[in-house]
Amino acid sequence: MLKLSKLQQQLFIECTSKKYFDRLEPYHYVPETIKPYKSIYGVFPKLQFHNDHPHPVAVVVYAPPFANLQARNKVLKDRRPEFTSKRANLAWVNSNIIMAKRLIVDPRYRRLGIAKWLLQETVKIQPYQYIEALSPIDYTNKILIGAGFECYHMPAPNYYTRVKNVLALAGISKDLQQHPKLVVKRIALLKPDIRSKLDYELKRFFQHFRISNQKNYTTDHIEYLLRKLQFPNCYFIKYNKEHNFSS
């Protein structure tokens, strides 16, 4: 296995376009749009002759931050000014924070340190004081920590716990949750009392997202639900010393 230092000699990082992100997007666990985004950086192999970029080895997407995050408010409580209006708060957030929204590595190049290298090299050129990220995956968490991010654990909201509990009560295991069509069939076969509890909790859960509430859940509804169940229980933030702006 090549060491990263030797591998870097065969790779280069540059700001790229969404079409190169799209080539790796199928390998990401969240099949959702990245829009809006600010910039995309890719790792590419150095080729002596090519008319177009080769297939990317890895990509990272930087996007505007969420308007409000409880974890951010706690972490930055003593590091940012207090605002009396939502507009002033949003203006400060957009001026000082950017989010590392997606990080994808081609499976053939994983566990070589490429993701950490890509983050380290691109974070320091972001013209923002703070870079933040959300992640529910232990392996990704280690990469972010290795790249200099601070990790803060976030408890999932109560409605996540409740819907997970009722899915378990309905006999819908984590393995079964990998197959939305089978989950839909399982729901159709539930006893009335269990189905009633599930309907109530799903309706309560969907109220927090942009999706209509229905009792006859389609495969699309269940796919949406199962994607959302992986709550990003870790909030990451990195102080960008390269851009120490005043507030």
**175 and 220 both lie in a single domain:** yes
**63 and 127 both lie in a single domain:** yes
**20 and 96 both lie in a single domain:** yes
**92 and 136 both lie in a single domain:** yes
Output the six-digit token pair for 84. Answer: 């009396």
**137 and 184 both lie in a single domain:** no
CATH number where 130 lies: 3.40.630.30
Q: Of the candidates 182, 187, 229, 194, which has an alpha carbon nearest to the alpha carbon of residue 209?
A: 229
**118 and 134 both lie in a single domain:** yes
pTM of the model: 0.71
Please give the C-alpha separations between residue 170 and each of 173, 183, 200, 202, in angstroms, as whole numbers: 9, 10, 13, 12
SS3 165: helix
pLDDT digits (tens, 9 = 90+) for 38-80: 999 999 998 755 555 578 999 999 999 998 888 898 899 888 8
pLDDT digits (tens, 9 = 90+) for 210-228: 555 555 667 777 877 777 7
Q: Whole domain around residue 184: which residue ranges?
A: 158-228
Query: DSSP strand E in 67-173: where?
Result: 97-105, 130-135, 150-153
**108 and 162 both lie in a single domain:** no
**11 and 128 both lie in a single domain:** yes
**142 and 84 both lie in a single domain:** yes
Q: Of the candidates 43, 24, 44, which has an alpha carbon nearest to the alpha carbon of residue 34?
A: 24
